[in-house]
Structures are given as structure tokens and as C-alpha cells.
Structure 1
Amino acid sequence: MKTLTGSLLSLEFDRSSVTRVRHLVTVSAQEAGLSGIALEDFVLAVHEAVTNAVRYGTPPRGIAMWREPAALVCEVTDKGPGIPDEVLEREEPATRFDFGGRGLWLMNRLAELVVRTGPEGTTIRLCATLA
């Protein structure tokens, strides 16, 4: 893991650091003011984005988190091939027999989600409202 400058959390990650990233996201989100179910939901949504970046994206993979006046924002980026349109357009999760296919669906239910994707990579932005 290579630490980048600025914000609550900013670093590059790989498969070996997913657990450490989840811990850092939890601590940073708590310090920003999230607690209880809101904290758990946000951490799970970010974890899904990080896991997808490791599974489907290519390096460099990065995560940045910062606080805005009424929101906690986290961006997860990778330089992979982008998310296929059929995955982005899916309104229901994959069936229980499919391996995977629930990450974006879950992220969209746990946090405010914005996806920018294309052949140069993907950015997942997740936001949680702060009280």
C-alpha cells in the first residue's frame, strides 16, 4: 500500500491490502461522524467497490475519502477495462446461483452511488449523509 497525500484517506491498494483498507475506511468513517447502521452500510458499500476493483480492475487501484459539509465521500478507482453496459443496467441482483453480480446492486442500496466507467478505467463514488 502506497499512501497518497491529503484527505481523510488516500492510498493505492492491491489484493493483499483489502482487509487493511476496510479497517482504515471504518476508522476514517467513524472519525468523520458515521456510527451504527449508517457506518456499517457505508463500510460494506466501500468494501464491495474495493473488492470489485481488485477482482475486475487493473492497477493502479486507489481509494480516497473526504468529508464534505453534510456528507462523507469515498472514491474507488482502477484502470481496468470498464464495467459492461449489461451490468450497469441490471435492476435486480444476479440469481442466488450466480457467483458475483451483486456488488453494484448492493452499493446502490447502501450509499448514494455514482459510477464513471470506460475503457480507461472505473471510478465508483459512494456518499453517506452526515448528521
Structure 2
Amino acid sequence: MRTLAGSLLSLEFDRSSVTRVRHLVMVSAQEAGLEGVALEDYVLAVHEAVTNAVRYGSPPRGIAMWRETGTLVCEITDKGPGIPAEVLEREEPATRFDFGGRGLWLMNRLADRVVRTGADGTTIRLSVALP
């Protein structure tokens, strides 16, 4: 795992490294200036994206985090089959009886989210204003 110049975090991950990635995201976000509830919310949003990439995507899976003017940005990528349109368009979370279905909904509420998805993979970009 190495960090690219100018970035806070940049690495590939798999199922076995999800916990370590969450820790690295938390440390990187703290170093960028997030704290308290804003830090917890952002780490949860990124964790949901990482978990979805492992659950539904295919390798290689990557994460990168960097600062832009007044903003912290994290991008999660995979080479999976893409996210179905009906899942992206869902405005309410899945019911409590459904398996899954809350990750994208949570991401959208905890951070600014941009999704690019298709047959060649998915990129989820989550950003939050820095204090």
C-alpha cells in the first residue's frame, strides 16, 4: 500500500483489507481536518462504498483520497458490471427485511455523491466540505 504524491491515500483493496481501509480513511480524514460527527459520517459513507465494491464489484478495486480547495474527496472504483438504474434512482432505503439496499442511500445523505457506472465498472466519488 503506497500513497501517491499529493494524495492522502491511494491503494487497491479486497475483502480482507476492508477494516484496514476504513482505519486509513479515518486517519486520512482526520489529518485533512474532519472531526466529530462530520468525520464519523464521512468515514461511514466511504465504508459503504468500499463494502459495495467488494460485495458487487470485481477486481481491481481501488480507493484514493485527496484535498481540493475546501473539500475532501474520496474516489472508490471497481471493474464490476455496474449499478442497475433502478438501484441508483431509489429515493428511499430498502425495507428492513431486504438484504442490503441502504449503502447508496446512506452515501447520498452523508456526503456529496457522484456515480459513474456502466458495464466496465463503477466509480463513486464522495466529497465533504472541510472546516
The reply to whether TM is greater than 0.5 is yes
Q: Aligned equivalents of 1:36 and 1:5: distance in 2?
A: 27
* Cα contact 1:92–1:105 (8 A) shared by 2: yes
% identical aligned pairs: 82
**Count of aligned pairs between the two proteins:** 130
* Cα contact 1:59–1:78 (8 A) shared by 2: yes
Other-structure match for 1:26: 26
**Ranges in structure 1 where 5+ consecutive residues have no aligned partner:** none
Q: Aligned equivalents of 1:4 and 1:41: distance in 2?
A: 23
Other-structure match for 2:130: 130
Other-structure match for 2:4: 5
Other-structure match for 2:51: 51
Other-structure match for 1:109: 109
Alignment root-mean-square deviation, CA? 0.8
Give the deviation of 1:3 after TM superposition. 3.0
1:7-65 deviations in Å (ceiling 9; x for gaps): 10000000000000000000000000000000000000000000000000000000000
Give the deviation of 1:69 after TM superposition. 1.5
Q: Aligned equivalents of 1:35 and 1:23: distance in 2?
A: 14
Which letter maps to 1:125? R
The answer on 1:79 being equivalent to 2:98 is no
**Ranges in structure 2 where 5+ consecutive residues have no aligned partner:** none
Which letter maps to 1:64? A
Q: Aligned equivalents of 2:41 and 2:4: distance in 1?
A: 26
Give the deviation of 1:5 after TM superposition. 2.5
1:69-128 deviations in Å (ceiling 9; x for gaps): 110000000000000011011010000100100000000000000000000000000001
TM-score of the pair, normalised by structure 2? 0.97
TM-score of the pair, normalised by structure 1? 0.97
Q: Which secondary structure state, in structure 1, belongs to the residue aligned with residue 64 of structure 2?
A: strand
- Which ranges of 4 or more aligned residues in structure 1 deviate by more than 6 Å? none
Q: Aligned equivalents of 1:37 and 1:52: distance in 2?
A: 22
Other-structure match for 1:120: 120
